[in-house]
Structure 1
Amino acid sequence: MTVAVGVAGVTGWTGRAVAEAVLAADDLTLVSGVSRSAAGKDLGQVWAGDANGVPVVATVEEALEGVDVLVDYTSHAAVLGHTLTAIGRGVSVVVGSSGLTAADFGEIDAAARGKELGVIAAGNFSLSASIAQVAATLAARHMKSWEIVDYASAGKPDAPSGTARELAELLGQVRQPEIEIPVVDTAGQSETRGGTVAGVQVHAIRLPGFVLSTEVVFGLPDERLSIRHDAGSSAAPYVAGTLLAIRAVQQRVGLTRGLSELLLA
């Protein structure tokens, strides 16, 4: 029996790559795609190829019929509504869109538990990024001080990235990093010390030439440890992790943040 999948953002950079991988998988079936600009068309023809029988619709509400798992790669403005709509219809969700806040995640977790459904959300579905996250969690158990640098393209609308926010919150659960001089006591312009996320200082850089990179720097007297993940110019790194989440989400209840639990299972 295959898992029926709908992809929101199916004509987007990552959404298309994920949809193509779902189509190629023996244990998954692509039932629908969401794209306002291509609504009413066959997905294969939207991709400038042969018809493949997958309808493209304008809204998530239309895409949920017969779907087991909704994958969302849309925008920070739409993802919360899409996720809650899917949960309300009894559909599990894999969230790849960034920009959700801690309050948003709390609302999603409560809604999913109320329906006994699973939601897996990751700031970055790259397996190598997830491995870096696991390594950073280990380091935080033994090193007392760290900060995060979040690099992204000049046009990225949200800051910090979902990857950096998720990492900060995960490390903040391990322990609060030690800061010798509290940020509020910084002489000069304290805002140059970055933003505080879950007790962790995060510095967001938005420049041409970057796709998405996240670096956490740990410091001890006379030594430093940097753990950094750099994404390339294609969506390929995010596909394997998204498929892993699609296959796992129906066996979970409530919200799962990141892939670390799945990788360590």
Structure 2
Amino acid sequence: GKALVPAIGAQGDMALAGAVSRSGAGQDSGLLVGIPANGITVSASLAEALEVPSDVLVDYTKPHVVKDHALLAIEKGRHVVIGTSGLGAADFAEIDAAARANRVGVIAAGNFSITATLMKRFALMAAKYVPDVEVIDYASAKKPDAPSGTARELAEALADVRKASTARPVSE
């Protein structure tokens, strides 16, 4: 939210309709993120925030809650942008089915970094021609989601497109 609130405020064709933070509930969202007051009071829950008319939910929360948030917003007729990694193919399938049933759009990009986006694109291109692929995720031992959601999503996507492995045990 610290980047999103001022970014939306700077756009001429967008308006912030709400913000959610349990710890910041009741405060002005601008003041909460260190910019001038914007008149948008932070809600304590997504359900509360969705009571205000809006078009799109942008969710950058944790993987264990983002799916439920997306499904609730879809049920309420909102389009959804998911900026959290860590969801699996089954999660995306459920979100996709709900979005189609409610005729709303969903963009899920767990990692908005240009480097991660290019890495995934190039890896998927190469995987069509290379029979054996491996994802190695280097992260701090203190990282809460190890392996990272980006690495897990990449591994799932690679598994869907790669050629059959030619590797055989030495005994064969």
Same fold (TM > 0.5): yes
2:54 to 50, 56, 67: 67
Q: Write the distance in 1 (CA, Å) between the matches of 2:23 and 2:142.
A: 21
Aligned 8 A contact 1:31 1:55 in 2? no
Matched, 1:30 2:30: no
Residue ranges of structure 2 left out of the alignment (5+ in a row): none
Q: How many residues align?
A: 169
Aligned 8 A contact 1:90 1:117 in 2? yes
Find runs of 4+ consecutive structure 1 residues off by over 4 angstroms.
Answer: none
Match of 2:89 in 1: 102
Match of 2:135 in 1: 148
What is the percent sequence identity of the aligned residues?
A: 52
The amino acid across from 1:145 in the alignment is: D
2:72 to 81, 85, 92: 85
Q: Write the distance in 2 (CA, Å) between the matches of 1:148 and 1:95.
A: 23
Secondary structure (helix, strand or coil) at the match of 2:134 reads: strand
Q: Write the distance in 2 (CA, Å) between the matches of 1:134 and 1:100.
A: 18
Q: Write the distance in 2 (CA, Å) between the matches of 1:20 and 1:152.
A: 30
Q: Write the distance in 1 (CA, Å) between the matches of 2:165 and 2:129.
A: 12
Secondary structure (helix, strand or coil) at the match of 2:25 reads: coil
Residue ranges of structure 1 left out of the alignment (5+ in a row): 1-9, 11-15, 186-265
Aligned 8 A contact 2:74 2:98 in 1? yes
The verdict on how the C-alpha distance between 1:149 and 1:70 changes in structure 2, with shifts beyond 3 A counting, is: same
1:58 to 33, 36, 44: 44
Q: Write the distance in 2 (CA, Å) between the matches of 1:143 and 1:175.
A: 7
Secondary structure (helix, strand or coil) at the match of 2:127 reads: helix
* 1:179-190 pair list within 5 angstroms: 180-181=167-168
Aligned 8 A contact 1:146 1:177 in 2? no
- Deviation of residue 57 (structure 1)? 0.5
- Deviation of residue 125 (structure 1)? 1.1
Root-mean-square deviation (CA, aligned residues, Å) is: 2.0
1:132 to 113, 119, 131: 119
Aligned 8 A contact 1:122 1:162 in 2? no
The amino acid across from 2:41 in the alignment is: P
Deviations 1:88-138 (A, max 9, x none): 000011111223232222211111111011111122111232122111111
Match of 1:165 in 2: 152
Aligned 8 A contact 2:132 2:167 in 1? no
Aligned 8 A contact 1:42 1:55 in 2? yes
Select between 141-150 and 48-57 the one with higher mean Cα deviation.
Answer: 48-57
Higher percent of residues as strand = 1
Aligned 8 A contact 2:77 2:104 in 1? yes
Match of 2:105 in 1: 118
